[in-house]
Structure 1
Amino acid sequence: MDEESAAGGFWLLDGIWWVLKNIVLAFWHLGYAITHPGLWLDWSNTEAIMRVVYYGGSVEFFFVVFTTFLVIGAAGLWSNRFLWGVVRALEGFANTLGRLVAWAGLLMVIQQVVIVFMQRVFARPSISLGFGIPVEFDISWWSEELKLYNAAIVALCLTYTFVQQGHVRVDLIYSAVSFRTKRVIDMVGSVIFMMPMAVLIWMYAWFFMWRHLIVPNPSASEPLDRLMMKARALRWNVETIGFSPNGFSAYFLFKILLVVMTGLIFIHAWAFLFRSYLEWKEGPESEDKYLDKDVLDAPDTGGHQHAEI
């Protein structure tokens, strides 16, 4: 029993040391990437592409991002004003992106109306847009392309909806506890649920995306040396196969949207953590402070939507 306890203690110490070591090394990794941009930005070199593929899903990249937000959080412990500025910037980015991409809904409706008229009224097999050398695709291509608008709205407006408090919260105890307890629950939820979920989806989505952009296909389990060997035979092989012969031919864009979505979730998890901490520290009077919330003519429902059980 004592041996098992000692082994468990050593395992815990090794884990803590591994995390601390990677946090320290994150500064060196970031500095090296900034001072050697040609190693990963020169995409005329296939090895640079493979470095991006490898490091985009690597422990090193995670700790660079993680340490960056740790530094921001540490600075915020010293200055609430600075941390509020970070929260406003991150939430402002989510709001701006969401409000812009939301117009894709109108574009989707207009395009669907055009498709119906061209197909049913004018009996045209294709739609051509532009002057001089127009862009022309089959009706089925434009019909399937509507999925891209829908995917963009879901992927890029997700954090906007969260900032606007438009998500559904399954409420078991949240509404019955005090203001500061709610903020503690929000902080724990951000760290325990939002961030790990975003990291796990990113690890899948990152290599899933690249497997539809280049060959030989990279794998998350392959070390950098192995990928450097594959770089000798690397070539672009962008996915252009649709579900129908004349259907939408840019399904790789959906994989890119999945990666962008998970990145936005991870970033906003930190913004939510920082806001929850500041509201916990400053008290009820700081609730929704600096929140740029869209207001409709409908009566206020009081913030978060709750699904009470």
Structure 2
Amino acid sequence: MLDGIVWFFTNIGLAFYNFFYAISHPGLWLDWSDKEAIMRFVYYGGSVEFFFVVFTAVLVLTAVGLWRNGFMWGCVRVLEGFANTVGRFFAWAGLIMVLQQVIIVFIQRIFARPDISIGLGIPLEMDISWWAEELKLYNAMVVALCCTYTFVQGGHVRVDLIYSAVSYRTKRVIDMLGSVFFMLPMAILIWMYGWYFLWRHLITPKPSASDTVDRLLMKARAVRWNVETIGFSPNGFNGYFLFKILLVAFAGMVFIHAVAFFYRSFLEWKEGPESENKYLDKDSLGEGEEAFEGTH
């Protein structure tokens, strides 16, 4: 027990050193012309060291926010603004998906063409099955990158058995516990799984979560890019490594918003009902319709 406590606080102390060493020596992990830099990036992206750097950063922000609530509200606005910006942008992938499906139907059923060619000079020409399978990528973008945006907007389905019957401050306590014991651990587990799942489809020899940094540096002598380009059909979509990138991005965004949700819940608990939805940038179709009518 004592050894675990010492290990925990030692890693928190080392987090400051690891962070400043990483940003002062970017070539050691960002210069991907060096194979060892690639392996360092792979290792540290899913390492204990990286976890404690992020964990310590959250602790520092939380400590400052407890001292200055205005700073914590600023963090909430920035993090929720990030979720809204990303979500509103990638929500357009849903429209692109519909339009592309319509084009595929016209090309395939009416013009009886086996492929679609887009561009001038050197066009992008792919089999019709490639474009049809690519539709899954747009769907994955909406799911992975609009998830936290939907959370900010209150669009997720809530199975409410107890929440609606309790007091305002009890609701905020439930929200805080949910972000700490459900959202954060889930995001960390998906990141740890998704990080190595991604890199096993980008390079060989395949890295493992159990590999030490020294072992990965030894593998660096033989490392080479081996990006996954195998589709489900001979002429089908072959960029399935993009789905692995989206999985990691999803986990990162959920982690970030779990922190924002905890901060908002704490501040609303502390300041009372008058602070509910404070600074919340929530979309409203009604406001858009009123603005449109006011211009005519």
TM-score range, shorter chain: over 0.9
1:23 equivalent in structure 2: 12
1:201 equivalent in structure 2: 190
Q: For residue 201 of structure 1, what is the amino acid of its counterpart?
A: I
In structure 1, C-alpha distance between the alignment counterparts of 2:75 and 2:239, rounded to whole Å: 36
More divergent stretch after superposition (164-173 vs 120-129):
164-173
1:161 equivalent in structure 2: 150
2:267 equivalent in structure 1: 278
Q: For residue 255 of structure 1, what is the amino acid of its counterpart?
A: K
> How far off its partner does 1:19 sit?
1.6
Q: For residue 132 of structure 2, what is the amino acid of its counterpart?
A: S
What RMSD over aligned residues (CA atoms) do the two structures have, in Å?
1.0
Q: Does 1:92 align with 2:81?
A: yes
Q: Does 1:229 align with 2:218?
A: yes
> How far off its partner does 1:238 sit?
0.2
1:184 equivalent in structure 2: 173
Work out which of the residue numbers 202, 205, 226 in structure 2 matches 1:213: 202
Work out which of the residue numbers 64, 69, 73 in structure 2 matches 1:75: 64
In structure 2, C-alpha distance between the alignment counterparts of 1:120 and 1:276, rounded to whole Å: 53
Q: Does 1:59 align with 2:56?
A: no
In structure 2, C-alpha distance between the alignment counterparts of 1:109 and 1:171, rounded to whole Å: 33
Work out which of the residue numbers 269, 283, 295 in structure 1 matches 2:284: 295
Work out which of the residue numbers 250, 260, 264 in structure 1 matches 2:249: 260
Q: Deviations over 1:130-178 (max 9, x none)?
A: 0011000000000000000000000000000110111122222211111
2:3 equivalent in structure 1: 14
2:140 equivalent in structure 1: 151
In structure 2, C-alpha distance between the alignment counterparts of 1:25 and 1:168, rounded to whole Å: 41
2:35 equivalent in structure 1: 46
Q: TM-score, normalised by structure 1?
A: 0.92
1:307 equivalent in structure 2: none
In structure 1, C-alpha distance between the alignment counterparts of 2:53 and 2:184, rounded to whole Å: 15
Q: For residue 252 of structure 2, what is the amino acid of its counterpart?
A: G
1:246 equivalent in structure 2: 235
In structure 2, C-alpha distance between the alignment counterparts of 1:102 and 1:173, rounded to whole Å: 32
In structure 2, C-alpha distance between the alignment counterparts of 1:71 and 1:24, rounded to whole Å: 12
In structure 1, C-alpha distance between the alignment counterparts of 2:161 and 2:13, rounded to whole Å: 40
Query: What percentage of aligned pairs have identical amino acids?
Result: 75
1:102 equivalent in structure 2: 91
> How far off its partner does 1:296 sit?
2.4
More divergent stretch after superposition (124-133 vs 167-176):
167-176
More divergent stretch after superposition (37-46 vs 169-178):
169-178
In structure 1, C-alpha distance between the alignment counterparts of 2:144 and 2:215, rounded to whole Å: 33
Q: TM-score, normalised by structure 2?
A: 0.95
Q: For residue 140 of structure 1, what is the amino acid of its counterpart?
A: S
Q: What SS does structure 2 have at the residue aligned with 1:114? A: helix
Q: For residue 218 of structure 2, what is the amino acid of its counterpart?
A: M
> How far off its partner does 1:297 sit?
3.7
In structure 2, C-alpha distance between the alignment counterparts of 1:121 and 1:74, rounded to whole Å: 63
In structure 2, C-alpha distance between the alignment counterparts of 1:224 and 1:246, rounded to whole Å: 39
